[in-house]
Structure 1
Amino acid sequence: MSSKLVYVLNGPNLNRLGKREPEIYGSQTLDDIGEMLATRGRELGIETVMLQSNHEGQLVDWLHEAEDKDAHAVLLNAGAYTHTSVALLDAIRSITAPVIEVHLSNPHTREAFRHVSWVGQAAKGTIAGFGAQSYMLALEAAAKL
């Protein structure tokens, strides 16, 4: 049986996980989360491709790449671009692979500017507020799509 391909895209400052505001984002690093996803992915018959960039255009390119490689789904934690990027909204709308929006914290319990999600307007669904477990829940959801 061949694996389903799931891209896991991470936006700005997520390379700082474990160091940046651990009271909000937790103590696990992005590498820790990637290892957890890869392990669970194998159990679910999913190959994960974990990527991170602080650059908006790179995230757009990876969304296109996911489509070109027939990804089963994309998990996207766009970080602050969630609330600012029409380019990511358009890129999500330009692909057929379902995108699941992921957040470590719950944006609705934070500053008002975080309550608007451009990404969420095109995402299949959103999982937020469960720390690193948000990624795992999103992977489980992707497996069932």
Structure 2
Amino acid sequence: MNIDDGAADDIDFEEYTTPDEVMRKMAMVWQNELCAPCLLPTQMGLVDILLDQIKGMEDNIARQADRMQLRISLHRMELQRISFMTSDYMRCRLQKIESNPNDAIDQHQRRKQENQSDLLSETELQFAKEYANAEAELFEKTVLGAVF
């Protein structure tokens, strides 16, 4: 895999990895995002893979006849662990975006101009723009509205 080309990495990663490797990679990405003081490049391709795995696991559990087996309980527990990890990863990213949406947008644009991997996914970028606009509007209504 080529480290410099983020788009090609996502395609290669989806085609040639096992579910165990995806989980290890997601655990590492999640821990790095939690510990980093700033926003790290997006790994939404990995999140999408895990969401597909979650859906598949839910379908498999729903088809099982004996839902009280220990094996089914263990699969449900693993499903909850994966769901928590992906949700917490996204929650952490959104908190970082909310802390300074304009900076996140600026860094994203700068990385795009330098042909580096994307800092934000398309939905995160849209969220950051909407949040920055709402924040500016609120600031204008509360602070600037009271002055004038």
- In our comparison, the structure showing a higher alpha carbon Rg is 2
TM-based fold match above 0.5: no
Q: TM-score, normalised by structure 1?
A: 0.30
Query: Where is the helix percentage greater, Structure 1 or Structure 2?
Result: 2
Q: TM-score, normalised by structure 2?
A: 0.30
Query: Where is the strand percentage greater, Structure 1 or Structure 2?
Result: 1
